[in-house]
Structure 1
Amino acid sequence: MATFVVTYTYSPDAERLDAVRPEHRAFLGALHEEGSVVVSGPLPPTGQAAAGALIVLEAEDETAALALLDDDPFRRDGLVVEATVRRWVPVIGSLAG
């Protein structure tokens, strides 16, 4: 298994995001319980970037990493306007291997 970082950029529809957020968090929580999601959390908006999220997970490859998130309620409901995935190799800290 390898470690991957997935970043989401959210839709600007704050009302829909708020409505679906509990289901989204339950979904990611279940993946955490299964051992796939290491950590996740929101990326607040800045002057240059929309709100989004960062998700660190374990998977075989980039395709498998995104596939783990296929059923994320935010993605299912079109609230993720962009998702990127990149392999990450932590060398310092509690996640270092």
Structure 2
Amino acid sequence: MPTFAVTYYYADNSEQRRNQHRPDHVAFLHGLHDEGILYMSGAMATEPPRALLVLEADDQSALEARLDQDPFFVNGLVGRRDVSVWSVFFDPREQHQR
């Protein structure tokens, strides 16, 4: 199954609104994790503020449609979202298989 690296670049001046919607955003991410789609995610210590998500999905279009349901995305808090196929070489989930 393909692995995707997704970068959220947050909208300018959205910190207060992100804090407001964070509980729903985290619940959304928990749902993806429970389904086995989201492997890991978190904020990056960068400027401009952004986050990285690592996910697995059979289809990029379906994954993007799913991410469109993220409360951060729905509420305009993601100014830009980059979705890239990531060719993972070392993966702790597949120890000693390469």
What letter matches 1:84 in structure 2?
A: D
The sequence identity of aligned pairs, in percent, is: 41
Unaligned runs of 5+ in 1: none
2:68 to 64, 67, 70: 70
Matches within 5 A, 1:23-34: 23-34=24-35
RMSD value, Cα: 1.5
Q: Which residue number corresponds to residue 43 of structure 2?
A: 42
Deviation at 1:64, TM superposition (A): 2.1
Output the CA distance in 1 between the equivalents of 2:91 and 2:31: 25
1:69 and 1:29 map into 2 onto residues whose CA distance is 13
The alpha-carbon distance between structure 1 residues 5 and 95, as it changes in their structure 2 partners (threshold 3 A), is farther
CA distance in 2, matches of 1:39, 1:23: 17
Runs of 4+ in 1 over 4 A off after TM superposition: none
For structure 2, which runs of at least 5 residues remain unmatched after alignment? none
The whole-number CA distance in structure 1 between the counterparts of 2:45 and 2:26 is 16
Shift of 1:61: 2.8
1: CA distance between counterparts of 2:80 and 2:93?
A: 26
Q: Which has the larger radius of gyration?
A: 2
- Call closer, same or farther: CA 1:63–1:31 in 2, change over 3 Å: same
In the superposition, the TM-score normalised over structure 2's length comes to: 0.87
Aligned counterpart, 1:88: 86
> Within 2, Cα distance between the matches of 1:53 and 1:23?
16
Q: Which amino acid aligns with 1:59?
A: A
Q: Distance in 1 between matches of 2:62 and 2:44?
A: 23
Aligned length: 94
